[in-house]
């Protein structure tokens, strides 16, 4: 797994003169469970958009020795990089099983594509077990609960043998129990993959993060373990405007524009 980490150098994203990401450097080791936090508009989602090819960016993003910038979205995805979105996007009219099967299938030959699916591919079975959705596999994804849709999305990354997962606010809108279950799921996943999580929920971050990067106004403000970041005076400044430990209540939890 060595050399498969994510290395970002001097990443810059500009929209019509507004610089959303302003020279970000990041080193995320393989097997890390990294949280990206920061106030609204800090550039967290834009950073993930740039890594996955959704927005044009300058600088360098390397994963497993491959340069990602300039490649189209579906090619980056084929390199083993998967992401989820703030609002869960699953294929509502297809069943859980069909969702996972499609996710597993990029790169299938035309003959396989033209045939009906027979049985359940092994990686799909494994993803169903990991995400706890086995009993729901024949349900249309549209009727799943909010948390289950997020797990299905994560499952759709797992079946592809994704090595880097970028998750955008996976626990937003989840109940306490669902958050705990999601956190445990992320821990299991990060055992043999690299996971990057954008999150506003500080309790969740404190419970599950291995390492944390704080973004502010398009730049990396602070980086380190949860304790290190919490002790950083600049982080407290950004979050609270006063020198004290960040409290969950004071942290903005609204969706990022």
Question: Which residues contact other proteins (rule: CB under 8 A)?
Answer: 52, 73-74, 77-78, 82-83, 89-94, 98-99, 101-103, 105-108, 112-117, 132-136, 138-140, 143-148, 156, 160, 174-175, 177-178, 180-181
SS3 140: strand
Strand order in the sheet with 219-224: 81-83, 164-168, 194-198, 33-37, 211-216, 219-224
Please say which residue, 41 or 105, places its beta carbon nearer to other proteins: 105
Please say which residue, 111 or 249, places its beta carbon nearer to other proteins: 111
Main-chain dihedrals φ then ψ at residue 127, nearest 5 degrees: -65, -35
The CB-of-10 to other proteins minimum distance in angstroms stands at 25
CA distances from 74 to 82, 83, 89, 189 (A): 10, 12, 16, 22
List, in order, residues 6 or more apart from 7 with CB less than 8 Å away: 26, 27, 28, 60, 61, 62, 63
Strand order in the sheet with 6-15: 18-28, 6-15, 58-63, 66-67
Residues paired with 128 in a beta bridge: none
Please say which residue, 89 or 225, places its beta carbon nearer to other proteins: 89
| Cα Dmax for the chain | 63
Residue 88 to residue 38: CA distance in whole angstroms: 21
Please say which residue, 1 or 145, places its beta carbon nearer to other proteins: 145
The CB-of-117 to other proteins minimum distance in angstroms stands at 6
The CB-of-15 to other proteins minimum distance in angstroms stands at 18
Please say which residue, 73 or 231, places its beta carbon nearer to other proteins: 73
Residues paired with 98 in a beta bridge: none
Please say which residue, 99 or 213, places its beta carbon nearer to other proteins: 99
Please say which residue, 16 or 93, places its beta carbon nearer to other proteins: 93
Please say whether the beta carbons of 167 and 84 come within 8 A: yes
Q: Which of 43, 66, 52 is nearest to 198 (CA)?
A: 43
């Amino acid at each position: 797994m060595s050399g498969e980490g994510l290395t970002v150098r001097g990443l810059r994203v500009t929209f019509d003169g507004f610089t959303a990401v302003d020279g970000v450097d990041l080193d995320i080791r393989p097997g890390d469970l990294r949280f990206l936090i920061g106030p609204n508009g800090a550039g967290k989602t834009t950073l993930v958009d740039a890594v996955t090819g959704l927005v044009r960016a300058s600088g360098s993003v390397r994963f497993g020795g491959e340069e990602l910038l300039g490649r189209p979205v579906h090619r980056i995805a084929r390199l083993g990089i998967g992401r989820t979105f703030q609002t869960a996007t699953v294929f509502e009219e297809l069943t859980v099983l069909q969702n996972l099967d499609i996710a597993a299938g990029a790169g299938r030959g035309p003959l396989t594509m033209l045939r009906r699916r027979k049985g359940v591919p092994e990686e799909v079975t494994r993803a169903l077990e990991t995400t706890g959705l086995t009993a729901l596999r024949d349900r249309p994804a549209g009727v799943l609960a909010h948390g289950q849709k997020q797990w299905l999305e994560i499952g759709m990354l797992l079946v592809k043998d994704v090595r880097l997962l970028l998750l955008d606010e996976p626990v937003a809108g989840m109940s306490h129990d669902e958050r705990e279950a999601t956190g445990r799921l992320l821990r299991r996943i990060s055992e043999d993959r690299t996971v990057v999580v954008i999150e506003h929920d500080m309790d969740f971050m404190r419970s599950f993060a291995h390492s944390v990067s704080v973004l502010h106004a398009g730049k990396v403000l602070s980086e380190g373990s949860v304790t290190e970041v919490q002790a950083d005076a600049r982080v407290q400044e950004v979050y609270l405007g006063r020198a004290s430990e960040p409290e969950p209540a004071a942290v903005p939890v609204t969706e990022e524009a």
